[in-house]
Amino acid sequence: MSQVTAFITARGGQAPSTALVSHFKQQLAPEHTPLFKQALKQLAVRKTVQGQSVWVLKEGRKEGAGAEEEEEEDMFTAAGRRG
């Protein structure tokens, strides 16, 4: 399971955008932000709940891995090497 999927799953299948940004900001190189957003959009859908932007895992994403999660892992591996 990817880091993002695990993070969202641990929060009941949905997580506020602010929580995602806060948690992953230090792990992610700025040049990987577009790839992170792309992976996030493949894993979850953004909804507005009580005026707050929340990412909700797509059906079937709580268990299992896909190719886009491999890209996400590569992105975090590269971010860990940057500094």
Sheet containing strand 52-57, edge to edge, reads 14-16, 52-57, 44-49
In a domain, 70, yes or no: yes
Domain count, the chain: 1
In a domain, 83, yes or no: no
In a domain, 41, yes or no: yes
The angle formed by the CA atoms of residues 60, 28 and 7, to the nearest 5 degrees, is: 35
Domain hosting residue 13, numbered range: 3-78
pTM attached to this predicted model? 0.71
pLDDT by 10s per residue, the chain, length 83: 489 999 999 999 999 999 999 999 889 899 999 999 999 999 999 999 999 999 999 987 665 444 444 555 555 655 554 44
In a domain, 59, yes or no: yes
In a domain, 24, yes or no: yes
In a domain, 25, yes or no: yes
What pLDDT is recorded for position 60? 79
